[in-house]
Chain A
Amino acid sequence: MDKEHAPETASSDDQVLVERFRRGDRAAFSTLVERHQTRVYNLAYRMLGRPEDAADATQEAFLACHEKLSGFRGDAAFTTWLHRVALNVCYDALRKRSRERPDEEEIEPPPVADASEATATGVDVHRALQRVPEEFRAVVLLHDAYGLPYEEIAEIIGVPVGTVKSRLHRGRVAMARILRGEPQAASDPSKLQERS
């Protein structure tokens, strides 16, 4: 995915844009939107499963970002903060969805793959992700799709680094089992808890 979108120069440019925005330059916010919309949209798409939901969530995320940016203290990278805002919007959308449509099959279940098949298509992977419980899905996405380090993910999600590592492993295992056609083993969050 777009790991190259977050080099240090972009990060420092973000800080400059944030500062400009806080001093009243509203064009700076537009630049931030242009720069990060693909990342936010894709995170929302992988979290929510549907393009239309992802577009709504992206708008909500940037709206929340706009409203909260004046309070952004700059002690975290802007992208870290933006990921946190976007993820929270996704969680809200998922909660709302489960409240309003509790019986709905969210995403068409993935086909049962031949375990001997070495590769999965992007569609299969996308569908399988939707079956991974959301708190595990988020970690898997942030690390494996976006290449974020454990520490930054811990900061985004607000959990200890050890929890991130554990969730990453459990989420990956769940994901692979789904891809192999073992959905029972993966879609039940209770089976993803840490073993003793």
Chain B
Amino acid sequence: MTHPDELLAGYVDGSLGSADRGRVDAHLAECARCRDEVALAAEARSAVAGLGDVAPPPGLSTAVRRKVRDRRPTGRPWRVVGAVAVAAGVAAAGILVVGSLGEEGPSMVSQQPRRPEAAPLPQARGEGPAEDVMAGSEGLAATGTGAVPVVTASRTDYEPKALSPLARRLRDDARAALAQGFPPTATDFYREFDPSAVDTQTRRAVQCALADVSPQQAVVPFIIQEATFQGVPAFVAGFLQGPAPDQPYDRILIWVADKESCALRSLASQQL
């Protein structure tokens, strides 16, 4: 006896045409084994259809994005790790957020480069144990040889007079990063940014730091630190800026924004 295996699934699904259904009915009338199987198949169909979805573990999509980002060949020694839209949609802002910020004095950078593969990858807030990225004065990779996808935090309390020296130090790091392949203009930078890597914390920091920046000025956030300025919580940001988006940067800005209101509190700049 030939069993109509290819029709039995459709028979159980109720999707057969009348001719095929008639053939199966005729067969079932004579074949106890197929009758038994049809009953079994209907039972399994119902059981599997009743399975509910299981919730994926929290942070799975973030882990996916991180994995994609880590695997992506960049062709450059630095990694652009995030971007957000600036006000009015005129420009987008990316951020190269780099290693741990110095705790000793107002320096935001050290001169010691860090290789990308050696850089730790702190957890995004809210998705795992909070990781203290304030690892001392070493390892800030604004030299362009490494990047850590977080906006860093610091206990440093900046004073106004500390901003100009900070701008000069960041200038050196920016020059080094540019020499190593950091995009030379804002246009180049935003062409390569990776918005999928932005976590909420980074987005908030960039948006706040850029809140008072005219959208006509295409600036590239180079580094942002959550710290305090004269005792009040603030974002201390280093921006690169050129005379136009498609022209090489000629200045580095230190921009201090109030963490609460995002209003500009102080500013320093340095020719590159």
A144 touches B48 (CB 8 A): yes
| B37 to A, closest residue via Cβ | A173
B12 touches A169 (CB 8 A): yes
- Of the listed stretches B38-46, B121-129, B134-142, B154-162, chain A binds B38-46
Is A195 in contact with chain B by the CB < 8 A criterion?
yes
Q: In the complex, which residues 149-176 of chain A have their Cβ closer than 8 Å to any Cβ of chain B?
A: 150, 162, 165-166, 168-176
B57 touches A175 (CB 8 A): no
The answer, among B45, B52, B195, for a CB contact under 8 Å with A27, is: B195
A170 touches B195 (CB 8 A): no
Is B61 in contact with chain A by the CB < 8 A criterion?
yes
Interface 1/0 per residue, A9-43 and B, CB below 8 Å: 00000000000000011110110011001100110
The answer, among B40, B47, B61, B64, for a CB contact under 8 Å with A63, is: B64
Is B53 in contact with chain A by the CB < 8 A criterion?
yes
| A195 to B, closest residue via Cβ | B3
Is B260 in contact with chain A by the CB < 8 A criterion?
no
| A120 to B, closest residue via Cβ | B47
A145 touches B44 (CB 8 A): no
Contacts of A119 in B (CB 8 A): 47
A37 touches B54 (CB 8 A): no
Contacts of B44 in A (CB 8 A): 140, 144, 171-176, 179
Known: A33-B61, A63-B67. A175 touches B47 (CB 8 A): yes
B9 touches A168 (CB 8 A): yes
B40 touches A177 (CB 8 A): yes
- Of the listed stretches A54-62, A77-85, A95-103, chain B binds A54-62
- Of the four ranges (under 10, 10 to 19, 20 to 34, 35 or more), the interface on chain A belongs to 35 or more
Is B49 in contact with chain A by the CB < 8 A criterion?
yes
Is B68 in contact with chain A by the CB < 8 A criterion?
yes
A30 touches B47 (CB 8 A): no
Is A131 in contact with chain B by the CB < 8 A criterion?
no
Complex: A41 Cα to B63 Cα, angstroms: 13
Contacts of A29 in B (CB 8 A): 68, 196
A145 touches B57 (CB 8 A): no
Complex: A169 Cα to B33 Cα, angstroms: 13
Q: In the complex, which residues 1-58 of chain B have their Cβ closer than 8 Å to any Cβ of chain A?
A: 2-3, 5-10, 12, 37, 40-41, 43-45, 47-57
Is A190 in contact with chain B by the CB < 8 A criterion?
no
| B56 to A, closest residue via Cβ | A41
Complex: A62 Cα to B53 Cα, angstroms: 19
Complex: A46 Cα to B191 Cα, angstroms: 40
B9 touches A1 (CB 8 A): no
A172 touches B195 (CB 8 A): no
Complex: A92 Cα to B272 Cα, angstroms: 52
Known: A26-B195, A169-B12. A195 touches B5 (CB 8 A): yes
Is A141 in contact with chain B by the CB < 8 A criterion?
yes
Is A148 in contact with chain B by the CB < 8 A criterion?
no
Known: A140-B44, A144-B44. A125 touches B57 (CB 8 A): no
Contacts of B40 in A (CB 8 A): 172-173, 176-177, 180
Complex: A166 Cα to B12 Cα, angstroms: 12
Contacts of B12 in A (CB 8 A): 169, 172
